[in-house]
Amino acid sequence: MAANFGIITPSEWVGLTLEESKKKAEREGFSVRLVEIDGRSLMLTEDLKNNRVNLRISNDKVIGAFPG
Q: What is the pLDDT of residue 7?
A: 82
The 10 Å Cβ neighbour count of residue 25 is 22
Q: What proportion of the chain, given as a percentage, has pLDDT over 70? A: 91
The 10 Å Cβ neighbour count of residue 66 is 13
Q: Is 1 a domain residue?
A: yes
Q: Is 55 a domain residue?
A: no
Q: What is the pLDDT of residue 2?
A: 63
Q: Is 50 a domain residue?
A: no
For residue 28, pLDDT over 80 is answered with yes
Q: Is 54 a domain residue?
A: no
Number of domains in the chain: 1
Q: What is the pLDDT of residue 46?
A: 93
For residue 1, pLDDT over 70 is answered with no
Q: Is 7 a domain residue?
A: yes
pTM of this structure: 0.90
Higher pLDDT, 57 or 6: 57
Domain assignment of residue 11, given as a range = 1-39
